[in-house]
Structure 1
Amino acid sequence: MASIKILYNCRSREFLWQEGHTAFATKTEADAEVLEILELYRRIYEEYLAIPVVKGKKSELEKFAGGLYTTSVEAFIPNTGRGIQGATSHCLGQNFAKMFEINFENEKGERAMVWQNSWAYSTRTMGVMVMVHGDDKGLVLPPKVASIQIIVIPVPYKDADMQAIFDACSATVNTLNEAGFRIEADFRDNYSPGWKYSHWEMKGVPLRIEIGPKDLVNSQVRAVRRDNSAKVDIPMVNLAEQIKEMLANIQQSLFDAAKQKRDACIKIIKTWDEFMEALSQKKMILAPWCDEEEVEKDVKARTKGEIGAAKTLCSPFDQPELPEGTLCFASGKAAKKWTYWGRSY
């Protein structure tokens, strides 16, 4: 009764910004799809956008209104100290089926109500990517999703054979294009190489290739990474293989750097005073909680200010050990789970 829509088209490299609504005969089937979609979200964030996320369940106060429960992948922006809901996968239960009389005939020939799910992935993802990876020079795009992975720039020198340099640039573009890379050359003659460097850095192109007279003599190109500005001279021999390895390294390095920054912002606390201190430090806070809606409302009220109140982000599926006798940081009651808290977008 259900079909899963493609969330990322690897061939066209396009994200499909569609909301999915699916229906099932049983809750077991619905539950399975909720987690299947959530894993697709994690893969897009972590494997394509190089952004670490936490998979978890939303609180009753934060879940989708009218739904049975909501799961999400949660990202964090270290520069601002705010969490952001990456994407959600909801189990709507049978509430809407009752309301709109969405029925079917089951295997026993009986009339039954469907179990429904709803899930969505939006353009906020682009904002998360910009905020996590961007720097003072502009965008920083992971190679897997960059529309242009490599830009080739000719570097003129006095008395240099510019036609030979242009030919080498064109040959490099053709070679790497045939190898499957998304690559272009900037042959504009009304801008200096330095201006072009800045222009393409601002656009976030992962790798820049420079070719000048010395590179022609040495049968090489100079490759400059966008993520860390590292420069390396690469021989023309086996260029495609070396560029492939470099782009893969950039992709992994972006994820590792983002995860390191995110993890450095995670603060584990057990008391209200520790919570308030961590909140003032713009941390992503992991705290023991009694899982009561009124307590969450109270935390929001007590932390409300000009920059917003703290709230639950999610209760991670990967739960740390909760020792017997652990108390809720906010109410002093017996804690039932660990939950991430913080200010969020």
Structure 2
Amino acid sequence: GKALQAGTSHFLGQNFAKAFDVKFTSKEGKQEYVWATSWGVSTRLMGALIMTHSDDLGLVLPPKLAPIQVVVVPIYKTEEQLEEIRNVVDKFSGELKAKGISIKFDDDEQAKPGWKFAEYELKGVPVRIAIGPKDLEKGQVEVARRDTLEKQFISLDNVGTEVAQLLEDIQANLYNRALDYRDTHITEATDFTEFKEILDNKGGFISALWDGTEETEEAVKNATKATIRCIPQAFETPTEGIDIFSGKPAKYRVLYAKAY
């Protein structure tokens, strides 16, 4: 229910240049302090990714960002069974790789299938495929999706097509789930009493009118610890009404929130 500033850019002016004595030679041959910008695409975005999608079992990674998109866990007792499984997996593995999908065949003999299942759930691999001798007899594989933990059986003939589609479905589901969470946690406040009640009991973003002055924003921050996070493009046009704190004519509709 809090805001996280991430992926932002800032004009830093010459403050850091003066603090660290960073200069350049101008066209006129003079030493001047550099004008700096900051582009904040860093580890904080990874933190946002983890907080947005993950659960108590571990990471949940969107397929387009997952280093391993599909993991295959063979279930076998003999080397002959493993070899038979490997030959079958090589066929649909080739199909998936041809579609640009990263796939791992985990034949590590030091860990049992159950341990591997838990490990790949923890790591957030979007799709897990389990296949054993009985599955080969039935011409199928068991497919588990990380986002909903649902399992289904897919025909060996359709693995390449259906798993590729499943990855697209998972990507869309994670996006829509996060978008819905965000939208349901944007609440409009019409006065300051309502503003504080929303902040204390629901959290999230608060849509409110602002008079456009730093003084008002600072006063709201001192009273509630909430600050203006952004002026959404949809809100940029002048708005009729009054600021919920100062009572002055409003210039913008903005989103307030407490930040981490």
Task: Sort the TM-score into its range (normalised by shorter chain).
Answer: 0.7 to 0.9
Q: Is the 8 A contact 2:185 2:205 kept in 1?
A: yes
Instruction: Decide which of 184, 188, 191 is 2:104's aligned counterpart.
Output: 184
The answer to whether residue 68 in structure 2 is matched with residue 148 in structure 1 is yes
Question: Which residue type is aligned with residue 283 of structure 1?
Answer: G
Q: Equivalent of 1:332, from 232, 241, 247?
A: 247
Instruction: Identify the match of residue 164 of structure 2 among 244, 247, 258.
Output: 244
Contact 2:216 2:246 survives alignment (8 Å):
yes
**1:277 aligned onto 2:193:** no
Match of 2:19 in 1: none
2:6 to 75, 86, 103: 86
Query: Aligned equivalents of 2:111 and 2:14: distance in 1?
Result: 62
Higher helix share: 2
Alpha-carbon deviations, 1:121-154, whole Å to 9, x = none? Answer: 1121100000000100000000001000000001
Distance (Å, rounded) in 1 between the aligned partners of 2:27 and 2:114: 66
Deviations 1:64-118 (A, max 9, x none): xxxxxxxxxxxxxxxxx1101122234678999xxx798779xxxxxxxxx9865
Give me the CA root mean square deviation.
Answer: 2.9
Shift of 1:171: 4.1
- Aligned partner of 1:311 in structure 2 is 227
* Contact 2:239–2:253 under 8 Å retained in 1: no
Is the alpha carbon distance of 1:166 and 1:101 closer, same or farther for their aligned partners in structure 2, counting shifts above 3 Å?
Answer: closer
Partner of residue 62, structure 1: none
Q: Deviations over 1:200-219 (max 9, x none)?
A: 00000000011122321222
Q: Which residue of 2 aligns with 1:136?
A: 56
CA distance in 2, matches of 1:328, 1:124: 32
TM-score relative to the length of structure 1: 0.65
Given that residues 153 and 169 in structure 1 are in contact (C-alpha distance below 8 angstroms), is that contact kept between their aligned partners in structure 2? no
| Contact 2:141/2:153 (<8 A) preserved | yes
Instruction: Note if contact 1:157-1:212 (Cα within 8 Å) is conserved in structure 2.
Output: no
Q: Does 1:289 align with 2:205?
A: no
Tell me, yes or no, if the aligned pair for 2:6 and 2:40 is still in contact at 8 Å: no
Matched, 1:218 2:150: no
Amino acid in the other structure paired with 2:232 = P
Residue type of the partner of 1:289?
W
Residue 118 of structure 2 is aligned with which of 198, 222, 231?
Answer: 198
In structure 2, relative to structure 1, the CA distance for the partners of 1:311 and 1:323 (3 Å cut) is closer
- Rounded Cα–Cα distance in structure 1 between residues aligned with 2:112 and 2:96: 24
Q: In proportion to residue count, which structure has more strand?
A: 1
Rounded Cα–Cα distance in structure 2 between residues aligned with 1:270 and 1:146: 42
Report the secondary structure of 1:84's partner residue.
Answer: coil
Give the TM-score of the pair, scaled to structure 2: 0.84
The 3-state SS of whatever aligns with 1:237 is helix
Q: Distance in 1 between matches of 2:185 and 2:141?
A: 39
Report the counterpart of residue 344 of structure 1 in structure 2. Answer: 259
Query: Which one of 209, 220, 225 corresponds to residue 299 of structure 1?
Result: 220
Between the aligned partners of 1:220 and 1:296, the Cα distance in structure 2 is: 60
- How many Å apart are 1:300 and its aligned residue? 1.4
Supply the distance in 2 between the matched residues of 1:301 and 1:323 (Cα, whole angstroms): 25
CA contact (8 A) 2:3 2:204 kept: no
- 1: distance between equivalents of 2:94 and 2:178? 33
Identity in percent: 39
Task: Report the equivalent of 1:256.
Answer: 176
- Structure-1 separation of matches of 2:145 and 2:85: 21
Query: Which letter maps to 2:249?
Result: A
